[in-house]
């Protein structure tokens, strides 16, 4: 319970809300929903053939569908504008990414909206190695289901509906999520999550053209210290740590999380987090503050596989930590034609 409180407080610092956990967490749910690589099919954009969507059943997505999304970063005060694109279909869902030249590492760490493998029946995805069931069709007022988010069990309910929209509330111990599904846009268009996380779709369309980068087969890692020399399992620990990332991962997005915890207003603190990737590239953030709260700095590495090392200074009633999401990247050139599907 105490560990869950610490992790919950740290979520603030991962932008729109990070997938922080104490142990390495393999993205098994994503792998299961993806079936295997051989089942993946790249079909041409064919939005004209889609039937009108409603609340009675899951929407059909096709490669080239896209949504412009605004993510509000609760820590840095920044607004991240990203394009979310359906890159391909799989046996059980879709692969979703961002423009290769507009890939956002804060968006990967935010988790809302989801990237990688998206379940076709629920529009759900994996968070911290566990499936997050976003929806349950048909979306009728009073419809309920259970899901999990950040190691917390949630009960979801459709609170109200119109012809084309559904308002959904999810509640659990110390956690709540409110979201809107819009059948016209075939997507969750608004979400307010734990500790100030929020996202909103500002535009949508079909026929996206260009290379789309998909982060899939993800694993999450976290190492840090709180209130001096206590690790994230609330055990005494030295100020250094490490994480072993499988060699198959070719890229990683990471957040360095430092600062006072808001439950101790007015307290002084000095925090420093040093992160070194397997190639020896070092990134550092340092904060001295009175009061204030957690903040985050974002980074990335294209040398993700191997040993990462960390140095944590948590000099105050707060935390210093690094969260890593490592993944394999897939780049799909849209629109898919017979030539590109055959690799020519």
pLDDT at 222: 92
Q: Does 177 score more than 90 pLDDT?
A: yes
Where do the domains of the chain lie, and which CATH numbers do they carry?
26-213 (no CATH), 214-331 (2.60.120)
Q: Does 288 score more than 90 pLDDT?
A: yes
If you average pLDDT over every residue of the chain, what do you get? 85
Residue from 272, 277, 216, 197 nearest 239 by CA: 272
- Of 17-31, 68-82, 293-307, the range with the highest mean pLDDT is 293-307
DSSP 29-94: HHHHHT--GGG-B-----GGGPPPP-SSSPPP--TT-EEEEEEE-TTT--EEEEEEEEEEE-SSEE
CA torsion through residues 9, 15, 215, 250, sign: negative
Question: Where residue 2 falls among pLDDT bands split at 50, 70, 90?
Answer: very low
Of residues 301 and 44, the one with the higher pLDDT is: 301
Residue 85, both tokens: 């694109």
Task: Give CA torsion, residues 43, 46, 49, 52, to 10 deg.
Answer: 100
Residue 286 CB contacts under 8 Å (≥ 6 apart), including other chains: 258, 270, 271, 272, 273
| Per-residue pLDDT tens over the stretch 196-207 | 679 999 999 999
Question: Where residue 46 falls among pLDDT bands split at 50, 70, 90?
Answer: very low
Q: Does 9 score more than 80 pLDDT?
A: no
| Per-residue pLDDT tens over the stretch 85-142 | 999 999 899 999 999 999 999 999 988 899 999 999 999 998 888 899 999 999 999 9
The pLDDT of 184-198, averaged and rounded, is 88
Percent of residues, the chain, with pLDDT higher than 90: 66
Residue 186, both tokens: 């075939």
Stated pTM of the model: 0.84
């Amino acid at each position: 319970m105490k560990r869950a409180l610490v992790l919950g407080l740290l979520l603030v610092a991962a932008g729109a809300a990070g997938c922080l956990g104490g142990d390495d967490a393999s993205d098994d749910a994503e792998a299961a929903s993806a079936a295997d690589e051989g089942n993946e099919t790249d079909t041409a954009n064919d939005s004209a053939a889609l039937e009108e969507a409603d609340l009675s059943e899951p929407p059909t997505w096709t490669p080239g569908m896209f949504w412009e999304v605004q993510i509000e970063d609760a820590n840095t005060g920044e607004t991240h504008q990203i394009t979310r694109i359906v890159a391909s279909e799989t046996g059980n869902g879709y692969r979703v990414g961002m423009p290769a030249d507009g890939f956002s590492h804060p968006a990967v760490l935010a988790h809302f909206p989801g990237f990688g493998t998206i379940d076709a029946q629920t529009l759900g995805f994996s968070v911290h190695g566990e499936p997050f069931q976003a929806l349950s069709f048909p979306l009728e007022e009073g419809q309920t289901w259970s899901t999990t988010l950040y190691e917390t069990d949630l009960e979801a309910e459709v609170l109200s509906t119109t012809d084309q929209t559904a308002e959904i509330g999810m509640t659990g111990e110390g956690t709540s999520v409110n979201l809107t599904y819009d059948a016209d846009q075939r997507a969750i268009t608004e979400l307010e999550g734990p500790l100030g996380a929020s996202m909103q779709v500002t535009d949508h369309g079909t026929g996206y053209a260009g290379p789309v980068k998909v982060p899939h087969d993800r694993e999450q890692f976290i190492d840090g210290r709180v209130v001096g020399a206590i690790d994230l399992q609330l055990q005494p620990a030295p100020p250094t740590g490490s994480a072993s990332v499988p060699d198959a991962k070719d890229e990683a997005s990471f957040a360095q999380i430092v600062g006072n915890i808001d439950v101790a207003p007015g307290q002084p603190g000095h925090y420093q987090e040093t992160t070194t990737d397997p190639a020896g590239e070092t990134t550092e953030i340092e904060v001295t503050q009175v009061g204030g709260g957690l903040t985050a700095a974002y980074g990335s590495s294209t040398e993700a596989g191997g040993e990462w090392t960390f140095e944590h200074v948590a000099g105050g009633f707060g935390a210093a930590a690094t969260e890593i999401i490592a993944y394999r990247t897939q780049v799909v050139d849209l629109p898919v034609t017979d030539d590109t599907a055959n690799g020519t």
